[in-house]
Amino acid sequence: MIAEIVTYSLAAGSDAETALDIYRRTSRDAEQNIDLVRSFPLFDAERGLAGGIFLWRSREAAERAHGESYWESVRALAGAYPEIETFDLLPDDDLVDTDAVADEALYDEE
């Protein structure tokens, strides 16, 4: 499994709502891809960056998903091409089940 960290510059003054809209519109195809395990949107107002973290079953699946149409859609919406960093995920039996942690946090807020 691999993780991709995708970032792109936003227009000056862009807010979290704009960043989330761009993320949703540019990752729509990836979200339907059975090789995508999970994704998370990113936003950094201070640096004017947005993007996402994508967990893929394989490097090849990620490369297929981020073809020319993906690059051009990000450029058209954000005004800049994305930068993509790819990392191999290492197996670790001691990792916490993040879904269980997220569910627990929701119940703690009630």
Architecture of domain 2-109: 2-Layer Sandwich (3.30)
Distance of alpha carbon 63 from alpha carbon 48, whole angstroms: 25
Domain ranges (residues) in the chain: 2-109
Amino acid at 16: A
* Entry pTM: 0.78
Is pLDDT at 8 greater than 90 in this prediction?
A: yes
> How do residues 32-68 score in pLDDT, each as one tens digit?
788 999 999 999 999 999 999 999 999 999 888 888 8
Q: DSSP letter string over 53-88?
A: EEEES-HHHHHHHT-HHHHHHHHHHHSS--EEEEEE
